[in-house]
Amino acid sequence: MYAIPESLRGDPYFEDLTTNHASDLQDSVDHIDSLYSEFLDIRDDFVDTLSIDVYPDMRQVDVLEENYAKWLFERVLLLDRTDKEKEDLKSAVGDAFETSAEEEDDHFRLLGDTDQFRRRPIIFYHYKRSFANGRKETYMFRMYARAPQTHIDDIESIAGYSDAVDAAELLDDIEMELEELEKKLIEYNEAPRFEGECDLILDIE
């Protein structure tokens, strides 16, 4: 169901079209769903096997391991599928800290990216409230961002990297398949080609 827009999921006319009259559309949907399931499997394996030990002995640091692994997986996709360079991604990490104005807050978060669609907390940094101002200095943020930036520099040596590259290629395939599916849907919308009788259409008429 990944390939079907949410607005069409469960729509009786669309289901009738793909089930009874336009099997080629359903074939396309099934193929896209299969590719995306394969992509998710690769991502899940990457997340499950990645060992995050960037701050093994620092009590004041909490690494959100699943988010961090997904963030790192996404860095591979960005490097492979966009014009982003490592320096771009490292710069985004250094600028992706979020602090709270609340006095009672005793931590700030590294969100991993400045892009609003890719922002997710990957690390919590805890500090004593009495040190709050010093901990929020720009140079401190740069220091705390070094470990994730090092991961970006050495990303090719990370376990599961080659599989993540394969996942990026799957996304390329999915993008092409979605474009073809969109063309087919437009064709059916412009000039419907229904085979046989259709009770749903007869009801409308």
Residue 32 or residue 21, greater confidence: 32
Residue 64 has pLDDT above 90, yes or no: no
Span 181-191, pLDDT tens digits: 888 777 666 55
| C-alpha span between 127 and 118 (Å, rounded) | 26
| C-alpha span between 93 and 106 (Å, rounded) | 21
Residue 204 pLDDT class (50, 70, 90 cuts): very low
- The token duo for 147 is 């470990």
pLDDT of residue 45: 96
pLDDT of residue 190: 56
Residue 32 or residue 125, greater confidence: 32
pLDDT of residue 199: 56
pTM of the model: 0.78
| C-alpha span between 201 and 77 (Å, rounded) | 44
What is the share, in percent, of the chain residues with pLDDT greater than 70?
A: 71
| C-alpha span between 182 and 33 (Å, rounded) | 15
Residue 115 or residue 68, greater confidence: 68
Hunting for tokens 């909490």 — which residue is that?
Answer: 62
3-state secondary structure of 144: helix
| C-alpha span between 149 and 142 (Å, rounded) | 10
| C-alpha span between 33 and 105 (Å, rounded) | 43
| C-alpha span between 129 and 52 (Å, rounded) | 27
Residue 17 or residue 152, greater confidence: 152
